[in-house]
Amino acid sequence: MKVLILYKSNYGNTRQVAEALARQIEGLGHNAEVRDLRLRLPNLKDVDCALIGAPTRIGRATWKARRALRRLRRKRFGAKPLGIFDTYGPLPVDPGELEKNRKWFYPGAAGRMQEKAQKLGLNVFLQTLRCQVQGMKGPLKEGEAGKAAQFAREFIATIENK
């Protein structure tokens, strides 16, 4: 299979998640292309499925990610499986603080993108991948790249079993 992995990243954390997904997918014997969302979408004809990711900012996904979802639909990607991921955080350590600021972290860029993709009628994978950063600009929390690898395995397995 050919898997397209689209990402937007300001400080490199979401790109690292995209690359971790690609490494795992290639390890499973598939072809993965990682592509910055600032570039135009490539030819989608030979692409079997895609993953799209963005950082959470002000509680949502950047407009480039939302625009890419519209473009995927316009380019008739609708029936092909699409997985969604984001980065978010850092989460407040104090539970009261977290509760008060919940809306900035949940459902985050991934949840918002998923909602939009569903509205557009895209074939979205129900699970999303969310990777936490330790500080506003990163780095990723320990173990988050491993979570990405696990997500990639589940995404591919679900498609292969259909």
Ligand X SMILES: Cc1cc2nc3c(=O)[nH]c(=O)nc-3n(C[C@H](O)[C@H](O)[C@H](O)COP(=O)(O)O)c2cc1C
Task: Name the site residues for ligand X (rule: CB under 6 A).
Answer: 9-14, 55-59, 87-89, 104-105, 108, 133, 136-138
- H or E segment and range at residue 124: strand 123-132
- With 0-12 / 13-18 / 19 or more C-beta atoms within 10 angstroms meaning exposed / middle / buried, residue 96 is exposed
Q: Which is nearer to ligand X, 57 or 153 (CB)?
A: 57
Which residue, chain included where needed, has tokens 């895609």?
Answer: 50
Q: Closest approach of Cβ 92 to ligand X, in Å?
A: 10
Q: Which is nearer to ligand X, 30 or 60 (CB)?
A: 60
Q: Closest approach of Cβ 129 to ligand X, in Å?
A: 13
Q: Which is nearer to ligand X, 105 or 155 (CB)?
A: 105
In this structure, what is the dihedral angle of CA atoms 75, 50, 19, 68, given to the nearest 10 degrees?
Answer: 40
Q: Closest approach of Cβ 103 to ligand X, in Å?
A: 8
Assign 58 to helix, strand or coil: coil
Q: Closest approach of Cβ 149 to ligand X, in Å?
A: 18
Q: Which is nearer to ligand X, 86 or 156 (CB)?
A: 86
Q: Find, among 110, 71, 74, the residue nearest to 89 by Cα.
A: 110
Q: Please tell me the distance from the alpha carbon of residue 97 to that of residue 10, in angstroms, as a whole number.
A: 26
